[in-house]
Amino acid sequence: MPDFSIGVDLGGTNLRIAAFTSEGQLLEKVSLGTKVSLGPDHVVNEMCDSIRGLAHKYSHKGAFQGAGIGVLGIIDLETGMMRKSANFPGWTEYPARAEIERRLGFPVILENDGNVAALGEKWMGAGRFVPNMAMVTLGTGIGGGIVLDGKIWHGLHGMAGEFGHMTVEPEGVPCGCGSHGCAERYASATALVRMAQEAAAHGDAPGLVKALASDPEFGSKAIYNLAMQGDEGAQRLMRRFGQYLGIMMGDIINALNLDMYVIGGGVSSAWDAFAPAMFQEMRERSLVYAATAPADPLGDEKRGLGRAGNPERKTIVTRALLGSDAGLYGAARMPIMSA
Amino acid sequence: MPDFSIGVDLGGTNLRIAAFTSEGQLLEKVSLGTKVSLGPDHVVNEMCDSIRGLAHKYSHKGAFQGAGIGVLGIIDLETGMMRKSANFPGWTEYPARAEIERRLGFPVILENDGNVAALGEKWMGAGRFVPNMAMVTLGTGIGGGIVLDGKIWHGLHGMAGEFGHMTVEPEGVPCGCGSHGCAERYASATALVRMAQEAAAHGDAPGLVKALASDPEFGSKAIYNLAMQGDEGAQRLMRRFGQYLGIMMGDIINALNLDMYVIGGGVSSAWDAFAPAMFQEMRERSLVYAATAPADPLGDEKRGLGRAGNPERKTIVTRALLGSDAGLYGAARMPIMSA
């Protein structure tokens, strides 16, 4: 058996730990809840128990390369401290890396979740045959990460790839970041629900009104389902979502001119409902995309890119392949790369 | 004397050729008009005569490292062909590099003007002590270039850094690129004049009305002068310019998290009139900038960064230092780097 490593995905709700071979094969995955309310020490203890367990279990089969941990929120890469995060109240300035390493007795690599997801898709997902790519994760908010020459592009403070806070509507709705009109206020799960409520209040979306009244768990998935069933109000909403996402994507493409942009996260499952509007907007907005887009991006998207990479040198915008495991893959990849 | 190289700045109006030592000292600069109407062969002949002349003149003093040429517009880096450019009618698909190399008898490096300006400021200008920076050139339009680890970041098609076509006003005025609401329609010399005409027509800027009527050469400089003389309408305009520039800059900072962003081009001489609004907008718009900005960016801007680089790890947004010569420096730097 080849060497192996461990990846951790530390989210606000879920804590997942997985062992991978150095060739990218998933060996075993453990899913725990993140008991944020019990405090950082409790969560870190549980995490370290699982890491130790997996490291021991596979140690007779290959050399353990170490552990990488993707954390929701922003990490100070130099100190390994967590910065202020709405998802981890009470963790502010918690010396996460030092506490984890003290328990495990070996060094670990911390990284923010947007970056590990990008690295995961680069390693074993949609981006595995291109050197340069960005990943956009559509969930409650919008996460992002940039991979250049196969490695995470951190920027000066580990904050590169904050795509969700690019402005798509200068006079738009306020955002938790202090700005207004940020992309994640128009092209995330949260944004979809807000726009559905607005459309329902406006009286021009009877299907959404009905769904809002009858479904106590009304969310982005319900809007997508309505759109796929032909509801016009929901379809309008998904198009609007796609247009705003297209503005953000067009800006990123104009600035970076990468080989590939991978769109993942829970809301990316609504791809069929928003992608046509997104592609149209990108083509109108981005001269770089317009000049370099494949003839049929939706068709090309289904085909994906083969082992030959990107021989036609087109700008590829495509769906993620690893689903919610992207971050686990990327986290496990980090110790292998630095080994 | 150390080695030397030649840089060329091929614009739509001016053609300039300069010799530099490999240590960045300007030896001699030749300025010609670009006689676009006489066709590409004529322009290339004149350029090559000057390159040969300078190469010969300094050849007894050091080893000639080659020539780099910055061209307004977009170059296909692989083929050395010029792509469609409004500034060079009739040059479309002109095999510029092949024609130049045939005349000179040695290889040259072609690059687009935004990229060479960025490399020039990195080499001998504002960015000389940081590894990663972007440059924004405010002129008739907005040019851009990205330098990572000291080298131009081209992107897949040499089109990275098209900051001027990032969207700052989704429902804004049409742009020549096919989109609307692009940054260069709100934060360039052309944009300033258009916005002045709009403000004058609106009747709420008497100073601008007067200037428009009396000054046959009314341009962005006149607006800046009016603003500095205290004209309220002109000041409002410069603030608006700064706000839109701040939206664009905030997007770039959120995406890239670089050490430094250098603002150059002719309109950057109006810095005092637009920079305060730009900094305020960036602080509101960009969580990355807000978290990493120096306490007093305008004061820090005046001090600049010393040889120690960026020891406080702040995000620096500052004026260019090389003026209209940035592109010449960058063009001359290319053959030295690839030597």
Which residues are bridge partners to B19 per DSSP? B6, B28
Pair B142, B245 in one domain:
yes
Average pLDDT of the residues of chain B: 92
Structure tokens at B48: 């090559």
Pair B97, B144 in one domain:
no
Q: In the predicted model, is pLDDT for residue B306 greater than 70?
A: no
Pair A135, A114 in one domain:
no
Q: What is the pLDDT of residues B1-21, one digit of tens each?
A: 689 999 999 988 899 999 999
Pair B106, B207 in one domain:
no
* Separation CA A215–CA A77 (nearest Å): 43
Whether residues B162 and A254 touch (CB distance < 8 A) is answered with yes
B298 touches chain A (CB under 8 A): no
Q: What is the pLDDT of residues A83-134, one digit of tens each?
A: 777 777 778 788 999 999 999 999 999 999 999 999 999 999 999 999 999 9
Pair A146, A233 in one domain:
yes
Q: Give the closest residue to A228 by CA, choosing from A272, A197, A191.
A: A272
Q: What is the dihedral of CA B82, B119, B249, B278, to 10 degrees?
A: -120
For residues B97-108, give the mean pLDDT: 95
Q: Give the closest residue to B160 by CA, choosing from B110, B93, B113, B115.
A: B115
The strand pair at B81-82 and B142-148 is best described as: unpaired
pLDDT in the model for residue A335: 96
Residue at A152: amino acid letter: I
Pair A79, A139 in one domain:
no
Per the CB < 8 A criterion, the answer to whether A53 and A36 are in contact is no
pLDDT in the model for residue B110: 94
* Separation CA A164–CA A166 (nearest Å): 6
State the best of A135, A179, A182, A317 to mutate against chain B, taking most chain B CBs within 10 Å. A179
The total number of structural domains in chain A stands at 2
Q: Give the single-character DSSP code of B163.
A: G
Domain hosting B295: range is 129-321
A50 touches chain B (CB under 8 A): no
Which residues 155-194 of B have a C-beta within 8 angstroms of A? 155-163, 165-170, 177-179
Pair B262, B332 in one domain:
no
pLDDT band at B147 (very low <50, low <70, confident <90, very high): very high
* Separation CA B60–CA A93 (nearest Å): 62
Pair B149, B42 in one domain:
no
Pair B292, B308 in one domain:
yes
For residues B147-173, give the mean pLDDT: 96
The CATH number of whichever domain residue B85 belongs to comes to 3.30.420.40
Q: With contacts defined as CB-CB under 8 Å, which chain B residues touch A156?
A: 132, 257-259, 292, 310, 313, 315
pLDDT band at B301 (very low <50, low <70, confident <90, very high): low
Per the CB < 8 A criterion, the answer to whether B98 and B106 are in contact is no
Asked casually if ipTM beats, i.e. exceeds, 0.90, the reply is: yes
Q: Give the closest residue to A285 by CA, choosing from B191, B164, B92, B146.
A: B164
For residues B161-187, give the mean pLDDT: 96
Low-confidence ranges of chain A (pLDDT < 50): none
- pTM for the model: 0.95
Pair A83, A146 in one domain:
no
Exposure string of B100-127, with b = 16+ CB inside 10 Å and e = fewer, is bbebbeeebbbbbbbbbbbbbbbbbbbb
Cα Rg of chain B (Å, integer): 20
Q: What is the pLDDT of residues B16-66, one digit of tens each?
A: 999 999 999 999 999 998 888 888 899 999 999 999 999 999 998 899 999
Whether residues B256 and A160 touch (CB distance < 8 A) is answered with yes
Pair B39, B140 in one domain:
no
Taken in order B222, B227, B228, B230, is the CA torsion positive or negative? positive
Per the CB < 8 A criterion, the answer to whether B251 and A167 are in contact is yes
Whether residues B154 and A257 touch (CB distance < 8 A) is answered with yes
- In three-state form (DSSP H/G/I as H, E/B as E, the rest C), the secondary structure along A175-224 is CCCCCECEHHHCCCHHHHHHHHHHHHHHCCCHHHHHHHHHCCCCCHHHHH
